[in-house]
Every structure is written in C-alpha cells, then in structure tokens.
Amino acid sequence: MTVINTQIRETLFKEVSPEPLAFFRIVFGLLMTFSTIRYIANGWVTEFFVQPEHYFKYPYFHWVQNPGEIGIYLLFGTLLLSSILITIGYKYRFAAITFLLSFLYIELIDITYYLNHYYFVSLIAFIMVFLPAGNCFSIDALQKGETESIPNWTILIIKFQVAVVYVFAGIAKLNYDWLIDAMPLSIWLPANSHLPIIGGLLKLQFTAYFFSWFGAIYDLFIVFFLIYPKTRKVAYFLVIVFHLSTSALFNIGVFPYVMIALTTIFFDKSFQINVVNRLKKWFGYKTNVVTTHSYRPIMKTVVSTSILIFTIIQLAIPLRFLLYSGDLFWKEEGYRFSWRVMLMEKAGTVFFTVVDKDTNKKIEIVNSDYLTPNQEKQMSTQPDLILQYVKIIEEDFASKGITNVEIYADSFVKLNGDFSKRYINDKVDLTKKSYHDDLDTWILPNN
C-alpha cells in the first residue's frame, strides 16, 4: 500500500512545465468568451430568462431565483468579463471563482436548458478554481513573476475529467437501441438528407449503423489513443473529423469546438511550450522567474484526498442510475449528469385537467398560458418537470381562490422508433405526488 501510495504521490506532485496549463487556460477562456457572446447575440438571455413566467428548478436548488432582466444581464456581463480575465490571466483566482459562480447561477435558474456540455463546463470551471493556471504567461505573472513549474496533478485532473466524459458517453451507447436498431441516428441522419454530397449517404441505413458503432467505439477508446503517443496524431485527427461532422449534422452549438479545443490537453507538452513561447515572443512578453513553491506534507495529503473524493464522485454520479429500477430512457431516473448525449429521440404531448373539488368543474389547461414552447417540450417527457408544472398550476389556481383541486394528465410519449404510448396514469391525482414518490405509482411502464 505504502509503495503504491508513494508512487501515486510522486506522480501527482511531480513538477512539470506550466505551459500546458497556461495554454489550457487561454483556450478555455477564449471559448467561454466566444460562447457567452454567442448566447447573448442569439437573444437567448431574453428568450430563456426574461420572457418565461415560470421556471423549472433543480432539485435542492429551488432557492435559486431569476434575478430579473437587469440582474440576468449583469450575470451574463460578469460571465463575459470573467471569461476575458481568465483568458488574459488577470486576477486569475478571483476570475475563476466569479466565472464558476455566475455560470452555475445561470444554469440553476431553469432546468429546461440542462445540457451535458454545460455540466461539463461547470466541472472544468470548478477544477480551474483550484489550479495555478494564472502563474504562467498571464498578467498576474507579469506582476508577480512567472512560475517555473506546476504539480502534475493539475494537468492530470483535467485529462481525467475529459476522459470521464468520453468513456461514460461511450458506455451509455452500449444499449440495444443504439447498437442494434441504430436509434436515434436512424431518425436524425435521414432528416439531413438535403445536405450536398453526403445527403445521399445519410439516407442509407448503413450510415446510421456506421455512425452508431463508430460513435460508441470512438467515445470508449479515443482518450486512450490520445494518451498513447504513437496514435495521438491520428486520434486527434479523428477528434476533429468526428466533432466537425456532428457539428454539421446536429444542432449542438459550441460543444464540438469545446471538445476539439480542450482535448489538446493530451498533447505532448512540447506543443504547448512551443506555442506559448512563440506567443510570448510575439507579444514581447518578459517576466522574472520565481522559484517554484513546494507543498508541505500536510497539503499533499489534503490535495490527494480531495482528488480521490472528486474522482469517486465523478465515477459514482453517472452510475447512480443503477440504483433505480426500470427503463432509464422512459423514466429518466439518473439520466442527467451522466454524459448521456444524443442517446434518444423522445417527444411527448400532455394535456392537464384541473378538477375543482368544491364545484366538481373540470378545467383543461392550455400549457402555452404557463410555459414557453421550450419548457413545454422538456416538461412533456420528464417526470420531475411534470410534477413541478402541476405545482405551478396548483398555485395559480390557489391564487385565484380555487384551493381544493385535483390535477390529472392525459399524456403520451414517443421514444426512438416506437409509436407514442400513454405515459402517465390518467387516474392518478398528480397533486398528491411528490418528487420523492416512486415513479411507478404514476408513470406507466414502457411496453
């Protein structure tokens, strides 16, 4: 044990060149600057955070409130500013913390817009807070002196995080629908048949199978090919091809570019050293070198224990679905935060009826009176959002003085290649159901 322990410690705390981390910081900062500007320019701040009347909350984060139009734009302004600060490495630690908090706050306002890649950015931002990424080729370093080396764990943990995304995304693809029926790609690829040159290929069944299998194998193994020096070049070429083609075929925003940019962390350090040195020369950047800090033994224990805990959590969260019974795609228990990307084509329609128990009158709800089209779409297929929506309706009726109500749902969900099926038991009064109830008491089985 102690031998392994010593070896692990040596690997974690080995001093390495700081350029790869500085390079990563700049790339991450630029990406975030660009994607924040894109988000604002697309009008999404207003559309997603100003126009809706109600918001779907994350479990345990019900207290996160929309700060209002001025507040939300201030948050995005903070996000943009801190992204720029991270890029140039000015007041780095402060910028990293500010970025993380404002990013998290925006994400937590409405679960409607949950995307795995936002979760990925949150995790990277969280890690960045603890990294000495501002001590090399940065404004901070100009003022305080440049570090000669950084501990190896600061690079390893980023590699680990990227590996988690790919490998779990790969494992998630090892299911019947994906591999045997080539679903949902059999739906999504032919929908792109209008594209020039490849359009004809996308109509073919073979193509859906090829993409499915290639995608699964790519996700499972790409990290290992990136780590292994001999295959690295080919592997990175595949990274570019893979993500650019998903970018062309699917409406997935900046995520492909994030992955293309951040997988450079696997490059041999000579690449980043070379790039950073050239940039330094180009900018005429010169600093004093300061001696590398050294960890006290107690700090080494704190750091390695923290890394261990973080690693375990990262492995446990995507696997938590094993604790739930039943169809993961249908009930979505343990679906989020698990790197399940592009795994299913799911859609639904749901009609709610409120029964006023005092008068026995039935009132059918018009969903668009409460929700935006985005929100309605997400709500229709996700049990936890359905219950939140029932609460919204219940409270709205209560505010009109109608307090004694029951709410029933007439709902249908379509998953992958199947026909739509009834989703919620229409005999169940949903006001009696809570997040903690067993889903089987109100969601019907998928068969």
Partner 1 sequence: MIFKKVIYVLFIAVFMLSCSNENTGNPKIDIDKKALLTNYADNLIIPAFEDLYLKSNTLIERFAELKLEYSEQRYNKVRQAFSDLRNSWQYCSAYGFGPAEDVVLRQTLNTFPTDTIRIKDNIASGTYSLVTSSNFKAKGFPALDYLLFNVESNTQESVFTDTKVLQYLEDIIKDIKTNIDYVRNGWQSYRDVFISKTGNDAGSSLSLLINEFVKDYELAKRAKVGFPLGKSSSDVLPYHFEAPYSMNSSRILGFNLQSYRMIITGPENNDLTKTDNLYEYLSELSVTRGDALLADVILEEFDETIGLLNKMDIPFRKSLELPTEKEKIEALYKNMQESVVLLKTDMVSAMGILINYQDNDGD
Residues 102-121 touching partner 1, rule: CB under 8 A, are 113, 115-117
Subset of residues 291 to 350 that bind partner 1, contact rule: CB under 8 A: 341-342, 345-349
- We find the least distance from the C-beta atom of residue 350 to partner 1, in angstroms, to be 9
Does residue 122 belong to the site contacting partner 1 (CB under 8 A)? no
User: Site mask, partner 1, residues 235-254, x = CB under 8 A?
Assistant: x-------x--xx--xxxxx
Nearer to partner 1, 190 or 326 (CB): 190
Instruction: State the CB neighbour count (10 A cutoff) for residue 201.
Output: 14
For the chain, the residue count is 447
Amino acid at the residue 177: D
In terms of CB distance, is 267 or 285 closer to partner 1?
267
Dihedral class, residue 217 (left if φ above 0, else alpha if ψ from -120 to 50, else beta): alpha
Least Å distance, CB 353 to partner 1, is 9
Q: Residues 406-445 vs partner 1: string with x where CB under 8 A? A: ----x-xxx--x-xx-------------------------
Q: How far is the CB of 438 from partner 1 (least distance, A)?
A: 26
- Assess contact for 378 and 56: CB atoms under 8 A: yes
Residues 171-230 that bind partner 1 (CB under 8 A): 180-183, 186-188, 190-194, 203, 205-206, 208-210, 213-215, 217, 219, 221, 225, 230
What does the alpha-carbon distance between residue 163 and residue 157 come to, in Å, rounded to a whole number? 10
Residues 32-71 that bind partner 1 (CB under 8 A): 42, 44, 48
Q: How many CA atoms lie within 13 A of 406 on its CB side?
A: 12
Among 92, 153, 255, 266, binds partner 1 (CB under 8 A): 255
ω into 184 cis (within 30 of 0): yes
**Residue 94 near residue 410 (C-beta atoms within 8 A):** no
Q: Are 262 and 124 in contact (CB under 8 A)?
A: yes
Subset of 147-176 contacting partner 1 (CB under 8 A): 169
Binding-residue pattern over the window 364 to 393 for partner 1, x denoting contact by CB under 8 A: xxx------xx--x--x-------------
Sheet holding 421-422, edge to edge: 361-364, 346-356, 405-415, 421-422
Q: Which CB sits closer to partner 1, 345 or 384?
A: 345
The answer for 361, left when phi > 0, alpha when psi is -120 to 50, beta otherwise, is beta
- Contact status, residue 377 vs residue 424, Cβ threshold 8 Å: no
Nearer to partner 1, 23 or 48 (CB): 48
